[in-house]
Structure 1
Amino acid sequence: MNIFTFVVAVLLWITVAWRAAKVWRKGQDRSLWWAFFGLAVMMTLRMPPGRALDQWTGVTDLSYLLKHLIGGVLASAALLAFLRKVSGASDGPRTKRRRIVFACATALAMSILFFAKLQPYETLSIFADPVARYVFLAYTLLFLGYLTASLLGGMRVCWRWGRNSSGPALSWGLRTIGVGLAAGVAYAVVRAATITTRMHGDGLFPGAVDDYISTALLMAALVLIVAGSSLPMLSLLHSWWTKRHALLRLRPLWRDLTQATPSVRLHAPRGAVTEHLNPLNVHDRLYRRGVEIRDAALALNNYASLALRKRAQQHAEARGLFGTQAAIAAEACWLAAARHAKLRGAAPGSSVEHRPAGGGRDLRSEISALTQLSDAYHSDLVRDFTDSEDRLMEPPA
């Protein structure tokens, strides 16, 4: 379990560092960050740094108390607050104060029991003292009781609001956290039964089997909580990746059209490498790219006569296309021909009403339509059409 404990601790600290840049810089709700911070500290104190802290402070088993206060009381209270907020459950000031008072009273009682009677014994030596072991039992049951109450409250929130959340990522995230909290409750029950039965016996199972079981349940709870809280972020990452892919995919069409109509560009064009390496403001850049493509098409509109559009439509239909596919292909054909005409210095013709072949009211449908236009624009069908139009424009020999 030592290697697994180390891996889980590293994952928790990575999560703490990853979320810190966001919540502390932007001033967002920090309850989840505090929950992961408490869990990360708890897992760290289970390893050699915990023994080093005991030796440095000279307080026997101080790490034992701190991992319960920080990783148990603080983390579970913060996680419950986060779950209630993200699920939309409303808490009044009185409810919030009651939860804070309950957590502080539990932490104070645990500290009093720890320093009053559980010192200077080490954890394994407490059972030799008849009074200290019952104080230890009270300390343990107090901690596990608070932990169980908090986890059960979190489970109710997860299962209730997981069915009514705003999206699948949040729904599955809450349900995964709920399973993790259930594993945490099982850990608390097994741990309480183990400590109680050790008062007059060897525990639930022979040897250290009960310790292995409770540790496995604790690790499972932590992994599931981390995974569940990360699912909404994975959904955001997927959205970012999809938009970035669309941004780069539309670059060739945007470059060609705005080369002929540079006035529609809000900013000077950047190199392809720079754009590939820039991960920021993908949504805004994609939105602007779509606007500039549409503006460029509108600017090229007067360079595409009705006769040109009719030839483009006939060319698309001659290739076996029909309906929306033919309309998109025809638009790509006359856009390419109009671009060539403007770059040659041709004079604009009479105004023609411009109706895009595709598009939508939201960014997703608009980008989908522009992607189809881009694919058609760079197809052999359009190249054949522009070649034929260029031959028509050549002066007779």
Structure 2
Amino acid sequence: MAFADTLEFLVLAAFWAFTIWRFATPQTPRGRAVRLVALLVTLSFTVNRREISFATDRLLQVADVSVPLKNLATVAASAAMVHLTGLLPGPAADRPRLRRLAYALLAAAGSAMVVLFVLVPRDPARGDFVAERAGTPLVTAYSVLTQFGLFVGLACCLVLFHPAAGRAGRGSLRLGLRLLTAGAVVGLLFMANRVAFQVSNALGSDALNGQAAESASRSLLAAMLLLFAAGAALPALGGLRRWAGRYAALQRLRPLWASLVSSVPHVVLGDPPGRLTDVLALRSVDLRLYRRIIEIRDAQWELGLVAHAPSTEATLDEQARALLREGSVVATPVDNLDAEHLGHNDPPGGPPALNLS
């Protein structure tokens, strides 16, 4: 298998894994915009595979129909990136007119591509009209519009990710943003390569028509998307690491929780989870951890353990503070609040505790 093919398969696997994960987890409005971009780019790159492209043409019985399908998906992904620039802080967030202009240009480019596709003579044989008729006026115009659609999306990436990488602290987020910026730069190189291919053919040169040039172009495309996939996945991996730490904390607190609530089961909100259910339930870990700490504290007050067993309280406080340092919950010292704002678990006159809220 050629290097370009191997790289393409790796990118496809990474993008489909990232897209499926995005659709399987709840997302904020920003996250939904990112999810849409990932889906459209994944579909575009999937249809770009020769085998899938040829199968699509045969299935729909329209010669080279896979070409506008993948290109229009790219244009739609660029439009989603323009939308994302309005959701994230940056120079484009406060310029709605600029975003509306970008939407209009992308819509015009997509419409013109459809018209040109209808006008260009096409051959149902294997291959596509962009390569077979490279350099002709209609195909050159179609290719320029295609690269313009890609350029808008790449420009949005640079506007968003490069400044954000400079502001981000050390860690996976900064590295991820730098990879996304690098992906946009490689994408611009790919775009320049495709424009040079059409221009050279229009001038009567076949210097960029060989197998090596084609492999280099495919490698640039795959490298761009691989950088995007890696850059988008790194912050997600940081979130996965935090989730794993909170899940482990939830399980570490279970023995203490079980021993306390066995004496005062009414402090448990709802049906107490069984051991197997507690282990297998992978969602809402933050909420379950928060409730577990609250229920442990309530049980301690009920049993009088806070007043009479300082060692037990110290153990729980040590565990809770460790969880707080991980960012699982927010703590407010009770002794800094007046009587009207005491935590619902902390009776007046009791010893200082943590109000976990």
Q: Does TM, normalized by the shorter one, top 0.5?
A: yes
Structure 1 262/218 Cα, relative in aligned 2: closer, same or farther at 3 Å? same
The 5 A counterparts of 1:127-146 are 127=134, 133-146=136-149
The within-5 A match list for 1:275-354 is: 275-301=278-304, 331-332=311-312
Look up the match of 1:352.
none
2:57 and 2:64 in contact (8 A); partners too: yes
Match of 1:198, SS state, is: helix
Partners of 1:27 and 1:18 lie apart in 2 by 16
Amino acid at match of 1:82: L
Q: Find the counterpart in structure 1 of residue 34 from structure 2.
A: 32
2:77 is matched with 75
Per the alignment, residue 60 of structure 1 pairs with: 63
Report deviation, 1:303: 9.3
- Unaligned 5+ segments in structure 2 are 330-357
Query: What does 1:112-127 correspond to in 2, within 5 Å?
Result: 112-119=115-122, 122-123=128-129, 124-127=131-134
d(CA) in 2 for partners of 1:102, 1:367:
45
Aligned to 1:201: 205
Report the aligned-residue RMSD: 3.4
User: In the alignment, which residue of structure 1 is the partner of 2:334?
Assistant: none
Most deviating of 294-303 and 175-184 = 294-303
Task: Give the corresponding residue for 2:335.
Answer: none
Work out whether residues 102 and 152 of structure 2, in 8 Å CA contact, stay in contact via their aligned partners in 1: no
Q: Out of 253, 256, 262, which is 1:253 matched to?
A: 256
SS where residue 214 of structure 1 aligns? helix
Alignment partner, residue 11 of structure 1: 14
**1:158 partnered with 2:165:** no
The residue number in structure 1 matching 2:222 is 219
1:260–1:150: structure 2 CA closer, same or farther, 3 Å change rule?
A: closer
Question: How has the CA–CA distance of structure 1 residues 221 and 357 changed in structure 2, closer, same or farther, with 3 Å as cutoff?
Answer: closer
Counterpart position of 1:111: 114
Match of 1:363 in 2: 324
Q: Return the offset for 1:44.
A: 2.3
Q: 1:248 to 1:201 in 2, by over 3 A?
A: same
Distance 1:357 1:207 in 2: 67
Contact 1:20-1:33 at 8 Å conserved across structures: yes
CA contact (8 A) 1:34 1:74 kept: no
**Structure ranking higher on relative contact order (CA contacts 8 Å, 6+ apart):** 2
**Do 1:80 and 1:150's aligned partners in 2 also have CA atoms closer than 8 Å?**
yes
Which residue of structure 1 aligns with residue 340 of structure 2?
none
What amino acid is aligned across from residue 42 of structure 1 in structure 2? S
Q: Identify the residue that residue 343 of structure 1 maps to in structure 2.
A: none
After superposition, the C-alpha distances for 1:132-185 in whole angstroms (9 at most, x for unaligned) are 713222221232234224313321221112222488544333222111111111
How far residue 79 of structure 1 moved from its aligned partner, in angstroms, is 2.9
Q: Which residue of structure 2 lines up, in the alignment, with residue 102 of structure 1?
A: 105
TM-superposed deviation, 1:331? 0.9
**What amino acid is aligned across from residue 31 of structure 1 in structure 2?**
A
Sort the Cα spacing of 1:141 and 1:212 in 2 relative to 1 into closer, same or farther, 3 A: same
- Distance in 1 (CA, whole Å) between partners of 2:141 and 2:44 is 21
How many residues in Structure 1 have an aligned counterpart in Structure 2?
A: 319
Q: 1:335, 1:85 → 2: CA distance?
A: 44
Q: Which AA in structure 1 matches 2:37?
A: A
In 2, distance between residues paired with 1:53 and 1:357?
60
Instruction: Tell me the amino acid that sits aligned with residue 197 of structure 2.
Output: T
Residue equivalent to 1:389: none
Quote the residue 1:44 is aligned against.
46
Quote the offset at 1:356 in angstroms. 6.1
Deviation at 1:103, TM superposition (A): 0.5
Give the conservation status (yes or no) of the 8 Å contact 1:84–1:157: no
Aligned-partner SS, 1:30? helix
**Residue identity (%):** 29
Given residue 234 of structure 2, which amino acid in structure 1 is its aligned partner?
L
TM normalised by structure 2 equals 0.76
